[in-house]
Structure 1
Amino acid sequence: MGSNNKRYLLYIAQNYSYAILRPLQQAIRARGDEVCWFLEGNEVDPLFLKPTEKHLLSIEEVKAWQPDAVLVPGNVVPNFIPGIKVGVFHGFNAGKMNHKGREDHFEIRDCFDLYCTQGPATTQPFLRLAEKFGTFKVVETGWPTLDPMFRRDLENPYRIDGDTRPVILFCSTFSRSLSCASIIYEQIKVMSKQGNWRWLVQFHPKMSQDIVDKYKALENENLKFVETDNVLPLLKAADVMLCDTSSILIMFLLLGKPVVTFKNHTNSSHLVNVEQLGAIQPALEQALSRPSELMAKIGDYCDDIHPCRDGHSSERVLLAVDDLIESGISGLVSKPMNLLRHFKMRRKLGYWKV
């Protein structure tokens, strides 16, 4: 795959974005192109960078390096840095509404030239938005983050040789109004002591510390609390997930595995949802048996949300970027100035040059 030595900037603002973009970095390096990271703000820790990863420390350095494309898992990116701006998303559409009463996943913030979508469920709405605004293109590539998950060579530190018990992974969102972590704590405490299953517990990095501490204190020979910036090995290790509304459940479903949810109000037939604490354990037992009707519903859902499960979404993103670099963005409508948003970004980055 020839590419005349293109330059790609990986622009992140959260620690979880390292794992989101590293498959793209691997694909960029495999084609012999150049890649650098830029870390925005103080919520992303440079200590997560590996010694082999190049880090640009300022907007001046970014402008001097002149990237051809900027790959962004977040919602916004400054218009004053070079390169076409590519939205690759930080997760799946979990149906969350923003303060304007609109689905946040489909909010257009006048920052991107290209959206690389995950599957028909997101491609079709974005194509309609592209027709409406004319300021960006849309290509369905699949989500690069999942590439390692669909490959067989993913190392897995969470499997234990000789332990054949089913593995339950409990994940929960950080929002207090949506999280079930504190509500089902006692239930998990009881189930984890029974010993018939092995438990893995992992929370969103923004989960409140008091809940994290409670679950850390639960650790025993049947339950391990995991803090990691890469959830993919956890997803591969488990047989069933217990969750609430966190979008991580979508990634788990894409492995063809069932999810039990507590008070998930999406009325989704591909989930085993329960409303009562006493129903959690029977629901997990049901999910472990993998009922054929449930598994068929999961298959249909996955085909809509992310049909590309070959582990090569990163390469498709780079091909889509190649096409836009070669065709140029002159055919797109100019983006609205959106002075307030870009002023805020300049202030955050401390950059005031033209």
Structure 2
Amino acid sequence: MKNILLDKVKILEPLNPNRATAVFGGKSSGILNWNDIEYPHWYKTYKRLLANYWQSDEVNMSSDVKQFHLLSEKERESYLKIISLLATLDSSQTRAILLTSLYATDPSVQSILAVIAQQEAVHNESYSYILSSVVSLDEQNQAFEIGRTDELLLKRNQEIMEVYNQFVEKPSIENILKTLIYSTLLEGLFFYSGFAFFYNLARQNKMVGTSTMISYINRDELEHGRFISELIRATLAENPEYNTLDLTNWIYLQFEKSVDNEIEWSRYVLHDVEGIDLDEMAGYIRYRANKMLRMIGLSERYPKDVENPMKWIRAYADNFDDTKTDFFEQKSRSYTKVSDLNGFDDL
């Protein structure tokens, strides 16, 4: 099968129909009419994404400022390394999503990806905000260097960077599909040992501001993963020649590699953290992989890990399989915006 390179979509082509003929590689005028799109339920996706709007400096970090230096040395080390990982991933994801949008023929997809990219940029900014709240500028800069100097972190990110950069060099349907697959891994798997660390601190009443911020990021990532998995399935339905056994085997291999790398990373960054059972964490990572495989229409790879072994995490993280409830109703902690009255001037 010839891997034909795609051109970036032109801004306006009035001779083409408003309703796109394909998600990628089709024709469209570029005029978006939400009442005339190929996948009408994506308007609800767009509205859910907009409803998630938040800003990092609305989260009260005053208690975290006081608590950070009371954490154990191991907790502080893990905190900084995990923030560095999250910042590294969301920095790349902002650009990857924007690049994908440039090749999306369907203007509804372009709009949704634009919102997702904006949210990834907010996530990335939030990590800077978190660190600026708890450590000095020199320590902030050192933490962000970890993302490009820590050998294990570089190893675990190698595959995703290769796939993303291959898409930059050769923008084809195949490489878009592979980029979208790694986007589901990033959104639905790569963050989760890090999220678990912050939620574990919160259940010990430590760094609750940070974990609140992570909860908002987590909520966004769940919505991103949901849409990207639908985009993969739509793209394969429109391009059945790419829906091959080779691609399926490639996907399973990437999931297996990613699970192994994530487990190795979790054992490296979470060992000796009070309240985290590393075997449970490994099971949770495999459980997350099963969920993401189901989302893109494939069978589970880890039959012994179909149940969540870390049920306590459900108090902090939304769930794909449940009916999606209002975020603020299901949280035990309230969303407290910072004002002059509740601690912003203390930062």
TM-score tier after normalising by the smaller chain length: under 0.3
TM-score (norm 1): 0.26
TM-score (norm 2): 0.26
More helix by share: 2
